[in-house]
Chains A and B, each alone.
Chain A
Amino acid sequence: MCIFNEVFIDLPGVMILLRGNARLVRRVCRFAYGFALLIFFIYAISSYPSAATYYVNLWSGRERLDVFDFSLQNSVVICKVEKVGGELRILLLRTYFEPQAQKMLVKVKVLSGDGGEMLYTFNEETTAGHLTIYTIYAPKAQYVQVEVEVDGVRVVKEVWLSGS
């Protein structure tokens, strides 16, 4: 039995006055109480969004890779290479396939317009669902080859960059 029932049962005078309408009165009281609570909660959480913006990176707003960009041939790693100004950004998204794989070896080969060749190697622990971003300063890069090996599974991505 809800608290309103108890209150109204305890007040016989009120019950006499509202005889026949007790259920209606209870409903009205419950609605008014619910409405007051709603107003209170709206007031209480009105400042929450501004505080929560500090933590927004926990659930959103990060770099995103479209896993269904070109095909359904998803492998243990999805790779994307993009050039932003003079920098190369290599985005590696570890998918949830082969969940036991933990070690990731990344080899990046960059060929520049002036004939130069640069090789980079990254070796690290990887976790399913984790996005890793490598940034390499290569303003004259024309060709990038990214070779990723996750516990024996190899993914190779080659990109010719235009406008260099």
Chain B
Amino acid sequence: MVKRLLKYNIKSRYWLNIASAISMGISILLTWTYLMYKLGLYCPCWESSSGFIIRAIIPPLNYMGIIVWAILLSIPLTVNGKLWLIAIPPLTLILTIAISDPLPLALTSISLMLLSGLRRVFEAVSAGIIVVESIVLTYILARAYDLQVPLLPTLPIHLSLYCLLIPVIPVLVLVACLSPILNPLIPKKFNPTNHGMSRTLLAIALLTSLTMWSIIYCLALNPGLKLVGVDAITRYYPHAIQLLRGGLQSVMSVGYDRPLYYLILYVLAKYLGAYNAVRMLALIAISTYTVASYIFAREVWGGWVAGIAAMIAPLTYTATVGFYSGLYSNWTSLSIALLAYTSIVKWLRRGGVKWLTLYLILMAGSVATHVYMGAIFFAASTTTLALATIEGGFRRRALTVFAIQIAFATLSLLAIENLGPQLGIPTTRTPLKIVIGNINSWLRGVTSLKLFSTSWWNNMCFAIYAYAPTAALDPTVWILTAIGIAALRFRSLDGFIIMPWILIVAALSFTAPLNLIYRVLYDMPYSITEAVGLSYITENVGRRFGGRVGAISLAALIAFKICYAMNYAVGLAF
């Protein structure tokens, strides 16, 4: 009957179809949460005021909850099914009340799912995730900004979405690091189409960055407005005070391994005070990374991927670990590295001395902002240029910049080695000595290393689970990175940039001492690799199930990431 009525009212049918997809999606998600609860799974979280806690996955169901579930089930059954199917939800509800367990409702949801077909289920689950995550986001923002709005208990549904993958996160990290070797297995390579909206997405991304930053310094959660981030408290704040006391000349002696960054800190501290300067560092890092991700992705793949990269930038591993540990200089150096790569792509494609000059300045800037991140960028870009010489179109320009880069780096290192003491750098801490010292300590560790042994996995597990607890537990970071890198063309400019970078990060993180694994893993632009993976998946989903389903699945994944990152930021603010 409902179907017959809807035949004559196209607008109502459109809205009822949406309502049907959402209610079916939420029913499936409730079933999934119930299943996770039955498996007895827990989810580690970082919580404001309590710190590290383990949360149980409990379906948010009391009498009201099961009535809502039954109503949700009745909508898709009525809209898409036959009229007699409307009798099923009340019967299931009665059975649920009789046995005091939502198993009948879960079984009905599974039956509905099996009857609906893959496309419908995919669309419904994505729509359900968007709605659930919107409610979770309201809950997070209400907590952060002390808003008096009615809150629904949807957090366990959000946790249930990824809790099953928590036991295998280190394995996912391994797969992501080794993703270039998966490349030959993917027949259809990444070939993005442009859908516009890139500037709108950038604006939303910048707003998200600002929100992330403001959450950790919001009065409701952090009433004392204490500094957040390990390095922010133990390094940047005391060093900012030291810089204010010592003046401009102390920049080199205090921040010998990141002088440019300490110069910025000095300027900020002078005009804003030490405390506000350190707070500003976090905002500068997250917004610079968002903009740099956008600019790089726009140059390489166009506006659509750039918009997605910008959206992901404040929500990825770089942001969560960056806020927890206060790795602001690493983060900023990574952003400068992305801008340097943009210049080199422009130079390789179009030429122009200004791009080459800008590249060299930005490369020096990246190294001067954080010498370790800069060193990884230098190694990756050198390999990129060496690979680019293979391609006929880039050979001459790549060779030119390769030679200039090596000469520039050698001369700079020698110059700083000789002039360092006059500039105030301790003679034992010049860049060349830092690099040689690190290589030596690395080599000592590598000789006794047993790759993929139990002790090796112990170290990896520590870096993933114990360092910046729960920051690395967003599985989408590693899955999308693995898919994104594997989908790139092996012999193309994007492949030449991303693949050497991840392989260097993989080689170093696999062989790093315990305390450096996370720092090496941090030196990868996950916003870029994730954006590639996400647009690759959604394009394929769109090709198979239609553009609307592709767009909904993209929105669902971004909604999940927003909630994960913001929930983490809420946990940090105390």
Q: Could you list which residues of chain A lie within 8 angstroms of chain B, going by C-beta atoms?
A: 1-4, 6, 30, 33-34, 37, 41, 43-48, 50-52, 54-60, 62, 64-65, 67-75, 93, 95-97, 99-100, 102, 125, 127-131
Contacts and interface: CB of A to CB of B under 8 A. Distances in A.
Interface in B54-113: 54-63, 65-66, 96-97, 100-102
B163 A99 contact: no
A50 B460 CA distance: 13
Contacts of B159: 129
A56 B53 CA distance: 14
Given A59-B167, A62-B42, A97 B153 contact: yes
B397 interface: no
B102 A68 contact: yes
A35 B283 CA distance: 46
Given A51-B454, A96-B153, A57 B55 contact: no
Contacts of A57: 54
Nearest to B67: A72
A72 B457 contact: no
Nearest to A43: B452
B170 interface: yes
User: Which residue, A41, A50, A68, has most C-beta atoms of chain B within 10 A?
Assistant: A68
B143 interface: yes
Contact of B184 (A33, A95, A127): A33
Contacts of A96: 58, 60, 153-156
Contacts of A52: 167, 170, 457, 461
A93 B66 contact: no
Nearest to A68: B101
Contacts of A50: 454, 457
B456 interface: yes
Contact of A129 (B102, B156, B185): B156
Contacts of A43: 452
A3 B183 contact: yes
Nearest to B171: A45
Nearest to B156: A96
B301 interface: no
A144 to B, nearest CB: 23
Contacts of B56: 62, 64-65, 93, 129-131
A4 B184 contact: yes
Given A45-B174, A47-B454, A68-B101, A129 B155 contact: yes
Contacts of B57: 129
B447 interface: no
A28 to B, nearest CB: 13
B32 interface: no
A59 B163 contact: yes
A93 to B, nearest CB: 6
A72 B452 contact: no
Contact of B151 (A34, A100, A102, A125): A100
B117 interface: no
B54 A33 contact: no
Given A47-B453, A68-B100, A97-B153, A128 B170 contact: no
Given A45-B174, A59-B167, A74 B454 contact: no
Given A6-B490, A45-B174, A95-B60, A54 B461 contact: yes
Closest 9 CB pairs of A and B: A129-B55, A51-B457, A96-B153, A74-B62, A47-B454, A3-B184, A44-B452, A58-B44, A68-B101
Interface in B143-173: 143, 151, 153-156, 159, 163, 166-167, 170-171
Nearest to B66: A72
Interface of B: 37, 40-45, 47, 49-50, 53-63, 65-66, 96-97, 100-102, 139, 142-143, 151, 153-156, 159, 163, 166-167, 170-171, 174-175, 181-187, 189, 452-458, 460-461, 465, 489-491
B187 A128 contact: no
A55, A59, A65, A128 interface centre (most CB from chain B within 10 Å) = A59
Contacts of B66: 72
B455 to A, nearest CB: 8
A97 B60 contact: yes
Contacts of B41: 59-60
Contacts of B182: 37
B8 to A, nearest CB: 41
Contacts of A74: 61-62, 65
A51 B101 CA distance: 37
Given A51-B454, A59-B43, A59-B167, A128 B461 contact: no
Contacts of B61: 68, 72, 74
A65 B184 CA distance: 48
Contact of B155 (A44, A99, A102): A99
A9 to B, nearest CB: 11
A70 B186 contact: no
A33 B185 contact: yes
Contacts of A60: 40-42, 167
A60 B44 CA distance: 10
A127 B461 contact: no
A48 B490 contact: no
Nearest to A129: B55
Contact of B185 (A34, A48, A128): A34
Nearest to A51: B457
A59 B454 contact: no
Contact of B97 (A72, A75, A129): A72
25 contacts: A3-B490, A4-B184, A37-B182, A37-B185, A44-B452, A45-B452, A51-B457, A51-B461, A52-B170, A52-B457, A59-B163, A59-B167, A62-B42, A64-B56, A68-B100, A72-B62, A73-B62, A73-B63, A74-B65, A96-B154, A99-B153, A100-B143, A102-B49, A127-B55, A130-B53
